[in-house]
Structure 1
Amino acid sequence: MPLVTTGDLVTDAASASRALAAFNVITLEHAEAIAAGAEQAGNAPAVLQISENAVKFHGGNVLAVTAAAAAVARASAAPLSLHLDHVVSVDLLHAAHEAGFSSAMFDASKLSYDDNVKATAEAVRWGHERGIWIEAELGKVGGKDGEAPLDAHTPGVRTDPQEAAAYVAATGVDALAVAVGSSHAMTERTAALDHALIAELRDAVPVPLVLHGSSGVPDDEIRRAVAAGMVKINVGTALNTAFTGAVRGYLEANPTTVDPRKYLVPGREAMAATVTHFLRTIG
């Protein structure tokens, strides 16, 4: 079916008091697995996210990897959108429109609060002039690019509700990723979320909340987070864990294999099953 916009999918989910899952794409197999997994979950809506790191992996060519993901999404029976994730480079953000993204997450979270507001407000202005939905981050989720995971109770790590409300008002963002106890790149699902904080943020912030680092969050914690007010649930590492485990298992059982299709198929199927699991978990 035709590509849908992330903004529409998030709005629909928020209006129905449910969540929308967003999955990170690195290879063509990731995109195919997300589409297959969404179809297996009853043609559930989902977001295909391509991060700045994934673009770098493909030699900095955002158009090629995006075109491949878009072709997969359009061939799917499930409603799927394209999202440019964790963009630090303004040049890459400005490539989003030509590449066909309907949304982007502009990440100025490592800057000071004032600089974060200034940079994000400019990104929002630019995006809204072109019909691009913009997500931003406030707080320190941690675990990205080799950073150590952060304790949710460390002072200054969690997102403050009053600051979040002021940030959204000052920047005009369409959605806000918040730090409530999860961490990027977790390979074990052991994170414990601050559900009381999620509810406070939901009440304080007039835009949908986004949970980054959901791969490390157990199913029950994700369900509670959705009930407390999380709308967009980002998943990346869980796909890579499933993919690598399946490929490793195949090669260990078939050490003379040289045809990559032999081990990419079980890898792709493992990712699709993971996508279906997360989609069913959230709703």
Structure 2
Amino acid sequence: MTTKEYESYYVPAQSHWPIVGAIALFLIAIGAANYVTEIKNQTSGFGGYILLAGIALVIFMVVGWFSNVINESMAGKYSHQMDNSFRQGMSWFIFSEVMFFAAFFGALLYARTFSVPWLGGAGNNAMTGAVLWPEFTAVWPLIKTPDGTQTTGMGWYGLPLLNTILLLTSSITAHFAHVALEQNKRPQLKIWLAITIVLGMAFMGFQVLEYAHGYSEEMQLYLTSGIYGNTFYMLTGFHGMHVTLGCIMLIVMFFRVLKGHFTPDNHFAFQAASWYWHFVDVVWVLLFVFVYIL
């Protein structure tokens, strides 16, 4: 009869970080609501300061909490069971992000497949189109709003295509960095990871240039430019925010690598950052196809 081997499951002491995070999120919610109201009413108040305080507190909480987790991991307190818990947690987090983007892609699909054709009189909606918007032409991108505002569709060539190449390349370099870590090739790991970070930061820089071009007098593509402007900036903007978060994760991994952290058998933090980066890349490919090309 074989004897089962039991692992000890490390249970950390009570932590103050959850309550700090809750207070930070509360401040962000209150601050953001007041700040938007102040902008709308063109008044001055403390909404912006409350929002910044909440963001600063979130950063403080994340740095402190993650530092505790890193120190516990480096001290050898985590078992295989704990590693599975981390894997499940990251898997559910990425799944929630998939559903987040699915909602925005769903809104884009609904607008293009149902709303725009209906306004054009498709199906049994001839009277709807004639009453609501007689001059409407059912084409996408919708570059003319009911109030007569004209805008310009963003083409897929130029900066969007360049950013696609950058992100796809960064996914490859991230994979090479992961393979180098599994093979315990530290110099190659540092080089490939550094290249991945540079490519990600270049993507963000070019997206800023793209937004500047969109808001120029030439294109006049604004967030308020009807359903097309809304969906374009919401999808690309939230993706850009996720790229920023992914770059921060990779930068943290880079400094941990410099400090000698991670081994071929124990590197889930690096693997989790790699998972997230590949997820961001896949979302961009879908976004590039459905927002820019189709």
> Same fold by TM-score, threshold 0.5 exceeded?
no
Q: Which has the larger radius of gyration?
A: 2
Structure in which a larger fraction of residues adopt strand = 1
Structure in which a larger fraction of residues adopt helix = 2
Q: Looking at both structures, which has the greater relative contact order when contacts are Cα pairs under 8 Å and sequence separation is at least 6? A: 1
